[in-house]
Structure 1
Amino acid sequence: MADPVALTALALDAAFGWPRTLYRRIGHPVGLFARIIDGCEARWNRPESSFAARRMLGGLTIVLLLLVAGGIGWAAQQGLYHIFGGWGWIGIAILAWPALAQRSLFDHVRAVGERIDAGDLPGARASVAMIVGRDTAKLDEAGVARAAIESLAESFCDGVAAPLFWLLLLGLPGVWAYKAVNTADSLIGHREERWRAFGWAAARFDDLLNWVPARLAGVLICLASGGGWRILWRDAHKHASPNAGWPKAAMAGALGLRLAGPIAYDGVMHEKAWIGDGALNAGGDEIDRALALYLRACLLLWLIAGGALWLH
């Protein structure tokens, strides 16, 4: 995209996040995707249907999401340029803005650190529960801090690097198609019996769309820290996801921490491999270090967006 759409969208998100006033009045665009997914799941993911049928209908759900998100994005992009000519990029940047999550991710993780610094472990658990899917009620301070740092690393890919990548590559239809698939993966791309067939397409397509951005995110975290490379190359593949291990391993290496490891979901402990070989103890100071690193990595993304504009 020759216009400064990506840089403007990044600036809007960094300055305002997604304001609560807008959220209360109109919600967030991913809410539309969630309603489509919930509707399809209620109609098509029936226990009496065969595994193959549910997998096919799950794939059809992704096709429907792509048509809606990509179609609306394409129509809006073409319409804005048609109506406003060379100034249409301003409207496109505004419509791309809510697809990014630099500010909200920073604010959510900082809230966890603030509660830890205040000695409020129950409050820290409540804050981290807003950004992670694991059980948090029994986490100690170090477990809460590590969970927040892991979420920061993984969401740097899902919430910032990947949307920006698809915005730069395919414009407004690209960024919103990505957000639709990523929302589907969050809601139905699970391995539990209920979702295994119906959510298969969502999980696999999300893996595909995040393949390049996840590796980019890991490299940027290491560049921003000036280290962490050994752990990145050694441990990125230890994660069950083909992508999530890259930013997590980079963050673990950069901060000298051990991340991941055994995690409880819905009361069931899952034995997962540790990423990194550093300390297990973590607290508010480590969250602050992670946030400073995150900001530097975001700045590198701004430079990439600026470089893409300059090349055009």
Structure 2
Amino acid sequence: MAEPVALAALALDAALGWPRPLYRRIGHPVGLFAMLIEACEARWNCPERSFAARRTFGSLTVLLLILLVGGTAWLIQSLLLAHLGDWGWIAAALLAWPALAQRSLFDHVRAVAVALDHGGLPAARIAVGAIVGRDTGALDESGVARAAIESLAESFCDGVAAPLFWLLALGLPGVWTYKAINTADSLIGHYEERWRAFGWAAARTDDLLNIVPARLSGVLLCLAGRGGWRILWRDAGKHASPNAGWPEAAMAGALGLRLAGPIAYDGVMQAKPWIGDGGERVSSLDIGRALHLYVAACAMLWLIAGGAAWAR
């Protein structure tokens, strides 16, 4: 069932994204995950608790997410198969559609390029601030463009390749459990003192779920760009994350750019290593090149989903 569901969900996402009127009316499913995570954090991540206790409660939060989200998705998928038969995959595709972010990611990154070209640097900083967590107020044009391209590379894995991988592997329970864990990692999987213990399980579980999709993302970006392999193998391990460096290094290598480098978070500069070769000058034209690469890599995911459906 997962194969035609995946292909149909990809098509729906590419055509429609997650429509703004729908978002305004009902929000997005990850908002429900965020509410649960924040409620657990407020109740269990108390400063007076020991490090071990906070780590235990953080692990319990992850387990709760897996059981609630995965269990609910499994129940829904089972009911669809039982009551709709061969037509159940259509309903499943509609339910899987919001878990993918091809169109949304493309639109958000393209908005940064448009802002750089027509709205000026202040508008571009606002646009890129919507998709990155770093400080954007002092970024120059190259810094804005670099941040947009890095986000595109990492989110190709988190927002497209990984959800599709788990949808193909485990159906609705797989894709929505992945999205729940990825949301937890985004909210609490940080190294700061407040999160280090409580968010440990979320970060490690997200790392585990992304091992294969991240490497697949890197390979697809290099295939789409017809190069970048040397930088992929050399620089993928430079990233603090065991997974994010793969698509980022592949993007840098395929485009001949230098990404990452020193980045400021909450006013504190972090001396991150550079990934890739080339000068520090990056422009809106490079964002356009990155988007073309991204579209080509997404097309390869369509081929994978289509091939899986045909083989079934």
Please tell me the TM-score bracket, short chain as reference.
over 0.9
Alignment of 1:280-291 (within 5 A): 280-291=280-291
> Residue type of the partner of 2:233?
W
Q: Distance in 2 between matches of 1:130 and 1:10?
A: 23
Superposition deviation, residue 53 in structure 1: 0.4
Query: What count of residue pairs does the alignment treat as equivalent?
Result: 312
Change (3 A) 1:266 1:297: same
Aligned to 2:154: 154
Where in structure 2 are the equivalents of 1:161-200 lying within 5 Å?
161-200=161-200
**Alpha-carbon separation, structure 2, partners of 1:2 and 1:125:** 39
Matched to 1:239, the amino acid is: H
Deviations along 1:91-145, whole A, 9 cap, x unmatched?
0000000000000000000000001111511000000000000000000000000
Give distance in 1, aligned partners of 2:139 and 2:76: 45
TM-aligned CA deviation for residue 81 of structure 1: 1.3
Q: Deviations over 1:30-68 (max 9, x none)?
A: 001000000000000000000000000000000000111
Q: CA deviation at 1:88?
A: 0.4
TM-superposed deviation, 1:247: 0.3
Check 1:54–1:123 CA distance in 2 against 1; reply closer, same or farther (3 A cut): same
For the pair 1:301 / 2:264, whether they are aligned, the reply is no
State the one-letter code of the partner of 1:39. Answer: A
Moved more, 67-76 or 136-145: 67-76
CA distance in 2, matches of 1:274, 1:141: 18
Deviation string for 1:144-174 (max 9, x for gaps)? Answer: 0000000000000000000000000000000
1:107 alignment counterpart: 107
Aligned to 1:11: 11
Distance 1:108 1:197, change over 3 A: same
CA distance in 2, matches of 1:292, 1:304: 19
Aligned to 2:78: 78
Query: Match of 1:264, SS?
Result: strand
Tell me the CA shift for residue 28 of structure 1: 0.2
Amino acid across the alignment from 1:146 = R
The CA RMSD over aligned residues, in Å, is: 0.7
- Give secondary structure in 1 for the equivalent of 2:280: coil
Q: Distance in 1 between matches of 2:280 and 2:141?
A: 11
Is residue 190–residue 196 contact of structure 1 (8 Å, CA) maintained in 2?
yes
Could you tell me how far apart the structure 1 residues matched to 2:280 and 2:153 are?
17
Counterpart code for 2:217: A
> For residues 119 and 172 of structure 2, what CA distance do their matches in structure 1 show?
43
Report the secondary structure of 2:156's partner residue: helix
Q: Contact conserved, 1:3 with 1:89, CA < 8 A, in 2?
A: no
Task: Look up the equivalent residue of 2:117 and give its one-letter code.
Answer: D
Alignment of 1:23-62 (within 5 A): 23-62=23-62
Residue in structure 1 matched with residue 276 of structure 2 by the alignment: 276
Matched letter for residue 194 of structure 1? R
Deviation at 1:279, TM superposition (A): 2.0
* CA offset digits 1:152-211 (Å, max 9, x no partner): 000000000000000000000000000000000000000000000000000000000000
Corresponding residue for residue 310 of structure 2: 310
> Aligned to 1:195, what secondary structure does the other structure show?
helix
Aligned AA (1:217): S
Quick one: percent identity of the two aligned structures?
A: 75
For 1:191-240, what per-residue CA distance to the aligned partner results, in whole angstroms no more than 9, with x for missing partners? 00000000000000000000000000000000001000000000000000
